[in-house]
Structure 1
Amino acid sequence: MKPCFLAFLFACVFISAKALPAANEIPFQLLESGHLLVKAKVDGIEGNFIFDTGAGLTVFTKTFFDKLKNTRKEDGGYTGFRATGERLDIDLYEVRNFEFGPLKNAVQEVSFLDANLGGIDGIIAIKVLEHQPFTIDFPAKVIRFEDKQSLAGIRRQAKSIPLQLEQSRNKSLTIFAYFMVNDSLRLQCSLDSGAGKDVFRLNAKHLPRLGVDVRDTVNVRKIERKSEFNEQFKSSIYITKLRKLSPDGAPSIQSGPFPVQFVEGLIYDGIMWINWLGQRLTFDLDAPVLLVRE
């Protein structure tokens, strides 16, 4: 499970497309927080969702879920762990007639969250596009479905970043890539479009290897963050800056100096938002690879 479902609790800004999208495109609004706001339809009911490459499961708000007439609770459930290590035990449901742009699934497995997301109806996980190559085109503000021909053309132009996939019981999907931090540490990080703008989180166990002294109160700030689900669960976070970040094997793609949050108990090496990588990001999860174009 991703570290912070609720990082975008603010008023919803609805998509206002200036022109009709192409048949293979889904318009999105790039929010100031860095999140991608998209529309989807379930059983004929349209909602506004965050498209989240870091969320293992598609999750609706209870308010939106209660509008749906054709739902079925599965007998079994799912136990997952947020990136902070917090355990979540959730129920799973089947919903009917899930439409996300050109994608139309007669049945889709989801869960729901009893929370107010400020007008946002939930989160659409990358698993719904598991076998559909797609591009997040930031200048055009669309998610574009690719075919074999368009994918071949993109491969000739793009820089390639190998991906690693974590499948959990064919219910949850998380994607990772390796990054070099300060040219000295090779870490496998979750690629998370739902993390928020300029969010880079690393496991606090890497503090010594990167030369960060938590006693340096001038350059390092410590905070405690409560879970949105369980106030008894807290994470200790050290906030500072690091010199350089680049994908392993694609050193020309760089960020730095960049803000970083070192999180105690993080179950991954790291988590990061994806917008900094390039203007057009093509995900081919069957390969699996991320193709980056300017």
Structure 2
Amino acid sequence: MSRSFFSLLLCLMTVCCYAQREIPLTVLPSGHVQVKASVDGVEGNFILDTGAGLTVFTKTFFDKLRHAKPQDGGYTAFRATGERIDVDLYTVPDMVLGSLKKAQETVSYLDFNLGGLDGILSLKLLETQPFTMDFDRQVLRFETPAQLAALRKTGTVIPLQLEQSRGRALDIFACFSVNDSLTLQLALDSGAGKDVYKFNAKYMQRLGIDATDTVKVKRRARKSEINPDFVSHTYYAPVKKLAASEGAGISVTGIPAQFVDGLIYDGIIWINWMGPRITINIPAAEMVVQRK
């Protein structure tokens, strides 16, 4: 084998291995992150949702899975608005997301419409695999230890707080300063949608926002798309500044905030605004943001 042929072969192998660690990622006009994955041999389009907690499929997609097995127990969760959801749990085989493969995964399903999408993938699928959402290149990349070390040198590291629920669900949080006066622990939610910054309505007064001012503050009631009998109430008012408590330079100003009555967290924010490349490393409980 000639040296030139060997070099070419090595190059092709490197490109192939790199490609296996990357899969296409689409940022929808709504701000949601869409990826392709397969479950039990059935391919689908899913929202990659860092705030979902539990992986949930639409009933239409779930009905295509031939080897889903019901678990004896169920799961009760609360949406951020406080709406209670009781679901059955199932074990599904062969979850595949790019080069990431899991022999089995715990999931559920709901009879809801996601506009043609097949469900929501939660962080439980990725809890052992650090990954980067590269919004510039439109790829989801699985990182190696060496790459993580390099990213930490060039990016901004933000500590994460993890919420593990009974080994079924996983959510991530980080601390942020609001208007340089109030430090809150906010859920980081890639499934929240574009320009979504939600806070518990109880913080309005401390931020100098008068809920009774109908000129500056708009109030709306919204029925749940899952349970129409559940209605949440939201106040809309601007917030001057939001900044990561540990992460110099990670800030945004003039945000269109929402203040929700009965929100179960201090707040929830979408994450795309932080930078063009966001790495989430659950094993190290940290997020690395590349601003350039």
- Write out the 4+ residue segments of structure 1 that deviate beyond 4 Å after TM superposition: none
> Counterpart of 2:125 in 1: which secondary structure?
helix
Q: Which residue of 2 aligns with 1:266?
A: 263
> Counterpart of 1:22 in 2: which secondary structure?
helix
1:203 and 2:168 equivalent? no
Q: Which residue of 2 aligns with 1:156?
A: 153
Which of structures 1 and 2 has the bigger CA Rg?
A: 2
In the alignment, which of 170, 185, 189 is matched to residue 173 of structure 1?
170
Q: Which runs of 5+ in 1 are unaligned?
A: 1-19
Give RMSD over aligned pairs. Answer: 1.1
In the alignment, which of 19, 27, 31 is matched to residue 28 of structure 2?
31
State the one-letter code of the partner of 2:192: A
Contact 2:75 2:86 in 1 (8 A): yes
State the one-letter code of the partner of 1:245: L
Bigger drift between 108-117 and 184-193 goes to 108-117
1:45 and 2:42 equivalent? yes
In the alignment, which of 226, 248, 252 is matched to residue 229 of structure 1?
226
> Counterpart of 1:153 in 2: which secondary structure?
helix
How many Å apart are 1:251 and its aligned residue? 3.9
C-alpha distance in structure 1 between counterparts of 2:207 and 2:242, whole Å: 12
How many Å apart are 1:116 and its aligned residue? 2.2
C-alpha distance in structure 2 between counterparts of 1:126 and 1:147, whole Å: 18
1:277 and 2:271 equivalent? no
What does the per-residue CA deviation read over 1:197-249, in whole Å, with 9 as the maximum and x for residues that have no partner? 00000000001100000122221100001112222211110001010001002
1:84 and 2:81 equivalent? yes
> Counterpart of 1:53 in 2: which secondary structure?
coil
Q: Which residue of 1 aligns with 2:251?
A: 254
C-alpha distance in structure 2 between counterparts of 1:156 and 1:129, whole Å: 23
Task: Please show how residues 113-124 of structure 1 align to structure 2 within 5 Å.
Answer: 113-124=110-121
C-alpha distance in structure 1 between counterparts of 2:129 and 2:190, whole Å: 17
Identity across the alignment (%) = 57
**TM-score normalised to structure 2 length:** 0.92
State the one-letter code of the partner of 2:283: D
**TM-score normalised to structure 1 length:** 0.92
Bigger drift between 79-88 and 170-179 goes to 79-88
Q: Which runs of 5+ in 2 are unaligned?
A: 1-15
Q: Which residue of 2 aligns with 1:193?
A: 190
What does the per-residue CA deviation read over 1:135-172, in whole Å, with 9 as the maximum and x for residues that have no partner? 11010111100011100100111111110000000000
What does the per-residue CA deviation read over 1:25-58, in whole Å, with 9 as the maximum and x for residues that have no partner? 1211111100111100112111000000000011
What does the per-residue CA deviation read over 1:252-286, in whole Å, with 9 as the maximum and x for residues that have no partner? 11111001000000010000000001111111111
How many Å apart are 1:59 and its aligned residue? 0.6
In the alignment, which of 235, 239, 246 is matched to residue 238 of structure 1?
235
C-alpha distance in structure 2 between counterparts of 1:50 and 1:229, whole Å: 17
State the one-letter code of the partner of 1:289: E
Q: Which residue of 2 aligns with 1:220?
A: 217
The 3 A distance-change label for structure 1 pair 72 and 83 is: same
> Counterpart of 1:217 in 2: which secondary structure?
coil
State the one-letter code of the partner of 1:52: D
C-alpha distance in structure 2 between counterparts of 1:260 and 1:226, whole Å: 19
State the one-letter code of the partner of 1:122: G
Q: Which residue of 2 aligns with 1:13?
A: none
> Counterpart of 1:255 in 2: which secondary structure?
strand
When the two structures are aligned, how many residues end up with a matched partner? 275
Specify which structure has the higher proportion of helix: 2
What does the per-residue CA deviation read over 1:60-83, in whole Å, with 9 as the maximum and x for residues that have no partner? 111111111111000000011111
Q: Which residue of 2 aligns with 1:15?
A: none
How many Å apart are 1:178 and its aligned residue? 0.2
C-alpha distance in structure 1 between counterparts of 2:118 and 2:76, whole Å: 22
Bigger drift between 120-129 and 243-252 goes to 243-252
Contact 2:78 2:84 in 1 (8 A): yes
State the one-letter code of the partner of 1:160: V
